[in-house]
Amino acid sequence: MKISKLILAGVAAAAVVPLVMYTRATAPKGARVVKPFDKDKYLGKWYEIARLNYFFERNLNNVTANYSINDDGTIKVVNRGFDTVKNAWKESIGKAKFAGDSSEAKLKVSFFGPIWAGYNVIALDTDYRYALVAGRNLNYLWILSRDTTMPKRMQDSYLQEAASLGYNISKLIWVKHDQ
């Protein structure tokens, strides 16, 4: 009886450890999050200018992210894009919250229940018009703008920052905004 409880505890621990590791809101090595950060200035609509591809955004153009406040104080995240293969709009609603001090742009976001991913604003202009956002590792990166375009000097600055952290910027997908 004691051995079966130990085995069951071991199996449970083996299942929980990867989940805990995945839900940690971390930033890539060397990345510094924006501080001070004003959540209220960051709220609103952002256009995705470029990204490293991942499963949810595969084949999407016209991608936007809209941030607002939920009743419980968390940040409502509405990601939307047009699937060029299915010829249909795709939308995902999640929530974000600070991973620590609310004056630091280190957040965690969830679209799937208890699974949280890092959302780290690592570059942001003073007017909150352009942002460089990193995930938990070098597989996740977004360049965002309040408009469907972005000045080349800002793009170049953000690309240089990303490359200096080890991102393979040649793999970025440049998002079209034509709908």
Residue 61 in any domain: the answer is yes
CA distance 29 to 15: 26
State pLDDT tens for residues 46-74.
999 999 998 889 999 999 999 999 999 99
Domain that holds residue 103: 2-174
Residue 179 in any domain: the answer is no
Residue closest to 74 by CA, chosen among 118, 104, 107? 107
Tokens 């604003």 belong to which residue? 121
More confident residue, 122 or 4: 122
CB 92 within 8 A of CB 79: yes
Residue 156 in any domain: the answer is yes
Name the domain count of the chain: 1
CA distance 54 to 38: 28
Residue 21 confidence class, pLDDT cut points 50, 70, 90 = very low
CA distance 132 to 118: 13
